[in-house]
Structure 1
Amino acid sequence: MRPLFLALCLGSSLLLSAPLFSAPALQEGIHYDLITPAVAKTTDKPEIVEVFNFKCPHCAALAPHTAEWAEKNKARFQFRSLPVFWGKQTDLPLRAFFAAEFLGKGEAMKQAIFNAHFNHSADIENKEELVFMAEALGLDGKTFQNQLFAFAVSAKLSQAKALQESYRVSFTPTLVVNGTYQILPSRHAKGENGVDHARLFEIIETLAQK
């Protein structure tokens, strides 16, 4: 009986020390899609680009999670926000974001525009509304207005459009990792009650190290 008892104890010990869950290897088409040809990164760090639309409710829901993750991991990864617009939408919200970004308030303006549109039904394609938001964030209204149509902001818009095409983005939100991997949260990190954010960032971090 003693050898059997020792074997059972050893087996129990091994079970307790083994991981309870072993994540499967990531698979193309299930956890991500490939971008072909790949787009060159703009940094030596692993780069994650969040492509979003200011009138997209799924983008608004995801934004606080990506902002929190990016802040916690800023030493490890380069995170960038890339707004896009569709159809009859105008480029004014994008201009407002890029103008605020140049003035040091990009992330705050991003959240403010989402909040204004989805929680207060504000017209985010109205210049006066956008100036009001900028002033609420502590920016000088006149400086912000001048920045809206500055050459640097227009150049950012052109770059955003070019990257949208290069990344082959047709849905938002889309996360792009190292210019090579495209992740659609609602498809590649789908959980029981929507997007599984823990799984999403696990996929991002795994791909970023490739």
Structure 2
Amino acid sequence: MSNLLKVAFLGLLLPLMAHATEYVEGEHYEVVAERATKKPEVTEYFSFYCPACNAFEPIIANVKPHLDSDVAFKKSHVDFVGPRDPKVQTMLPQALAAADALPEKDKLISAIFNHIHGKRAKINEEADMKDIFIAQGVDEQTFDKVYSSFSVRTAAAKMARDQKNLQEKRALTGVPTFIVNGKYKLRLHEAKIREPEDIAALINYLAKKQ
């Protein structure tokens, strides 16, 4: 077979190969809502007290660079892992929302994980959380202002609503769970998708899916 014929033959195969690697509902992802968000996004539902979530943080750090530029990565804290104390479970999503509003966001999230899983320390009250923020360069006045702000409390309340909505649909039974565009749940474990590039590819695919 001449080189020209080989190129033509491979050209015919390319569409078939692309089709063969297309993601399949029920295998790579599942639909958990009828409507999608207006803008492309992926939300990780997690808990700072979840060991698997803590272990997944380095993978997430490598997923983000491979996401399309218009795909926003978000975190949403759940209240069914860790201490049963309602005060603590209310404080954690509020701390996440406060971190989201600050330039030290990534450092703060890592520090909270490390406080619980690395140092094996407890977070019993707001003063404990404040100490974590201050250790990462956030001054006390900024913490007080941001942590108690209306926007942060609103964001934390939204996390609780989103969790309840997904639990009612039986779409959130454990963490970490990833939801794309509020509509598609990743089936990473079932599909044996582990590499950051492969996770990002699935997210990018679903972010564009109608």
Category of TM-score, reference length = shorter chain: 0.7 to 0.9
Q: Scaled by the length of structure 1, what TM-score is found?
A: 0.77
Question: What do you get for the CA RMSD once the two structures are aligned?
Answer: 3.0
Q: Which fold has the larger relative contact order, with Cα–Cα distance below 8 Å and residues 6 or more apart in sequence?
A: 2
Structure 2 residue runs of 5 or longer lacking an equivalent are: none
Identity of aligned residues (%): 26
What's 1:3 paired with?
A: none
- The offset of 1:12, in angstroms, is 9.9
1:180 aligns with 2:186: no
Supply the AA of the counterpart residue of 1:179.
Answer: G
- The offset of 1:7, in angstroms, is 6.0
Name the SS of the counterpart of 2:190 in structure 1. Answer: helix
Work out the CA distance in 2 between the residues paired with 1:201 and 1:147.
32
Contact 1:173/1:184 (CA < 8 Å) preserved in 2? no
Alignment of 1:1-210 (within 5 A): 6=1, 24-38=21-35, 40-41=36-37, 44=39, 46-71=40-65, 73=67, 75-86=69-80, 88=84, 90-167=89-166, 168-188=171-191, 190=192, 195-210=194-209
Work out the CA distance in 2 between the residues paired with 1:51 and 1:184.
14
Contact 1:112/1:133 (CA < 8 Å) preserved in 2? yes
Supply the AA of the counterpart residue of 2:29.
Answer: Y
Distance of aligned partners of 1:72 and 1:203 in 2 relative to their CA distance in 1, 3 Å threshold: closer
Contact 2:46/2:78 (CA < 8 Å) preserved in 1? yes
Work out the CA distance in 2 between the residues paired with 1:32 and 1:142.
44
Supply the AA of the counterpart residue of 2:186.
Answer: I
Contact 1:92/1:125 (CA < 8 Å) preserved in 2? no
- The offset of 1:200, in angstroms, is 1.8
Name the SS of the counterpart of 1:185 in structure 2. Answer: coil
Structure 1 residue runs of 5 or longer lacking an equivalent are: 1-5
The farther-off stretch of 25-34 and 165-174 is 165-174
Flag the structure with larger Rg. 1
Contact 2:94/2:153 (CA < 8 Å) preserved in 1? yes
Q: Scaled by the length of structure 2, what TM-score is found?
A: 0.77
Name the SS of the counterpart of 1:179 in structure 2. Answer: coil
